[in-house]
């Protein structure tokens, strides 16, 4: 109680000096909070950048001339499916078909339908979920392996089909020979339940819009059942964590994917990867440079706060040397005097930090930043204050009592 009484009496007697100390603490706290908040905002922007500017990747042939109509091996398909460094992988495989059974000699007359096996609505350009009409969830259709299909309305009307009917498709798959000529070969006579319809696609696409959509896994099972090498003719995806871009590229290289070589010979093997990361890399580089520059100033900022704590405390306490000397002359030890002066500064600094923190939180709406600022501020400012008190404690009692200044 004695120390508390002494501290309160001293604070009342030196209220203007106390107000000055608290005001300086508030000002320094707010400035330090602004500095840390800016660093935090830059980090938040960097963490949100993958959502704002995702990195899109697609597989091309080696000379980069074609993104569709390729032959992408099943081995690569499985590696992409199992990779944790990619997400939203879209596959499509194009086929042709005719309704009903017919001899192979009639293929050029009967194969009048474009069929696509896809694992996502985004795997087919020119279509959206609004273009598909079905009772079940569209997403479940693309991820299933059931023998179902979605047919274009015009094809439904032309062949007098309705939802719930079963249509038998004579499927033919596409392949390229050694001279890169396109050929068709019979795959399977496949019966499919019609569970939905789709409107006409936009014509501004890389390929002709498909007339029929089949779940990707259903098509894969058909290839496996007939012991035919499975492949897809287009593949695209996004980088799962763009902030780990180098690790992603290393994995893609381990998969055997190469960079496009414009001078390479024409081939339809899907072995080249295009990564559209220019925008992301530019923005991420700018944010990282800003963060590095700001964090590089942290030791300097901390030193300034320590220096301010030292100068403020020293100047305010230096004018009270006679008071310190009188206390010592009346028998108070150095430890007792130090504790009284320290508690005065402690209450003022805490008051300033509390008001400064409340003001910063009210303006900047960042509780976490305020707490971090408070820890750094109190440590740095108190360190400077302790040095000032230590210097005051070394004051000669005789010199202070008889000083005429």
Q: What is the pLDDT of residues 276-314, one digit of tens each?
A: 999 999 999 999 999 898 888 888 887 877 777 777 766
Do both 16 and 72 map to the same domain?
no
More confident residue, 147 or 362: 147
In a domain? residue 281: no
In a domain? residue 61: yes
Residue 396 has what pLDDT?
A: 53
Do both 110 and 130 map to the same domain?
yes
Query: Using 50, 70 and 90 to split pLDDT, how confident is the model at 30?
Result: confident
Of the CA atoms within 13 Å of residue 316, those in its CB half-sphere come to 25
Do both 220 and 338 map to the same domain?
no
Do both 86 and 189 map to the same domain?
yes
Average of per-residue pLDDT across 55-84:
93
Do both 90 and 172 map to the same domain?
yes
**Number of structural domains, the chain?**
2
Q: Which of 218, 246, 276 is a domain's end point? A: 276
Angle between helices 321-329 and 334-364 (to 10 degrees): 140
Query: Using 50, 70 and 90 to split pLDDT, how confident is the model at 400?
Result: very low
The yes-or-no verdict on residue 91 having pLDDT over 90 is yes
The yes-or-no verdict on residue 83 having pLDDT over 90 is yes
CA 363 to chain centre: 27
Query: Using 50, 70 and 90 to split pLDDT, how confident is the model at 39?
Result: confident
**Cβ proximity of 91 and 167 under 8 Å:** no
Do both 239 and 349 map to the same domain?
no
3-state secondary structure (DSSP) of residue 95 = strand
- Cβ-in-10-Å burial (0-12, 13-18, 19+) of 130 comes to exposed
What value does the mean pLDDT of the chain take? 81
Domain that holds residue 388: 2-47+290-401
Lowest mean pLDDT among 24-33, 262-271, 293-302: 24-33
Do both 181 and 200 map to the same domain?
yes
């Amino acid at each position: 109680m004695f120390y508390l009484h002494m501290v309160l009496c001293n604070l009342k007697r030196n209220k203007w000096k106390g107000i000055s100390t608290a005001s300086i603490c508030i000002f320094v706290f707010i400035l330090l909070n602004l500095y840390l908040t800016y660093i935090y905002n830059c980090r938040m922007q960097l963490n949100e950048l993958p959502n704002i500017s995702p990195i899109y990747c697609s597989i091309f042939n080696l000379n980069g001339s074609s993104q569709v109509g390729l032959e992408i091996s099943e081995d690569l398909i499985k590696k992409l499916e199992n990779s944790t460094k990619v997400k939203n992988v879209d596959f499509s495989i194009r086929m042709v078909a005719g309704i009903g059974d017919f001899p192979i000699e009639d293929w050029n007359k009967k194969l009048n339908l474009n069929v696509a096996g896809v694992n996502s609505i985004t795997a087919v350009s020119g279509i959206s979920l609004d273009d598909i009409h079905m009772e079940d969830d569209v997403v479940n259709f693309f991820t299933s392996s059931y023998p179902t299909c979605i047919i274009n309305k015009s094809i439904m009307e032309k062949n007098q089909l309705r939802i719930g009917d079963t249509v038998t498709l004579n499927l033919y798959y596409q392949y390229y020979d050694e001279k890169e000529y396109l050929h068709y070969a019979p795959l399977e006579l496949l019966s499919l339940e019609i569970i939905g319809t789709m409107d006409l696609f936009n014509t501004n696409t890389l390929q002709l819009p498909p007339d029929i959509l089949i779940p990707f896994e259903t098509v894969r099972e058909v290839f496996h059942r007939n012991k035919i090498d499975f492949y897809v003719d287009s593949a695209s995806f996004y980088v799962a964590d763009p902030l780990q871009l180098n690790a992603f590229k290393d994995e893609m290289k381990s998969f055997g994917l190469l960079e496009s070589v414009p001078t390479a010979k024409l081939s339809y093997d899907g072995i080249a990867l295009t990564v559209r990361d220019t925008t992301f890399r530019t923005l991420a580089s700018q944010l990282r440079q800003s963060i590095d520059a700001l964090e590089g100033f942290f030791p300097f900022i901390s030193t300034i706060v320590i220096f301010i704590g030292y100068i403020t405390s020293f100047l305010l306490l230096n004018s009270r040397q006679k008071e310190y000397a009188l206390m010592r002359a009346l028998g108070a030890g150095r430890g007792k005097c130090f504790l009284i002066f320290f508690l005065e500064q402690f209450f003022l600094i805490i008051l300033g930090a509390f008001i400064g923190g409340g003001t910063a939180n009210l303006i900047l709406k960042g509780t976490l930043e305020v707490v971090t600022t408070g820890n750094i501020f109190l440590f740095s400012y108190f360190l400077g204050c302790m040095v000032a008190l230590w210097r005051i404690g070394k004051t000669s009692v005789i010199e202070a009592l008889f000083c005429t200044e």
